[in-house]
Amino acid sequence: MICCVLVFSAFELKAAVVGGIFWVASLYGLRLMAKKDPQMRFVYLRSLKYEAYYPAQSTPFYENAREYK
């Protein structure tokens, strides 16, 4: 998307060349990442569900008096 914005907003040959190079480089990098670890996407999406902070508790049945957020 950045490549398209770069090319269509500038309307210059230099911008088209830089956008094309950026497009090819990013496509190459993303393909290398996908080949290296195909499950990377799922691990990242699962990590988004985690809380930022988990307070320590002595037992699962402990009633915490304070709220941590």
Tell me if 61 is assigned to some domain. Answer: no
Residue holding tokens 């996407």?
41
Tell me if 69 is assigned to some domain. Answer: no
Tell me if 14 is assigned to some domain. Answer: yes
Tell me if 9 is assigned to some domain. Answer: yes
- Residue 1 parent element (H or E): none
CB atoms within 10 A of CB 18: 15
How many folded domains does the chain comprise? Answer: 1
From the centroid of its chain, how far is CA 45? 9
CB atoms within 10 A of CB 7: 18
Spatial distance between the Cα atoms of 7 and 13, rounded to a whole number of angstroms: 8
Tell me if 11 is assigned to some domain. Answer: yes
Q: Which pLDDT tens digits describe the chain residue by residue (69 residues)?
A: 777 777 777 788 888 888 889 889 999 998 998 898 888 889 889 999 998 888 776 777 767 666 766
Structural domain boundaries, residue 19: 2-47
pTM confidence score? 0.53
Tell me if 63 is assigned to some domain. Answer: no
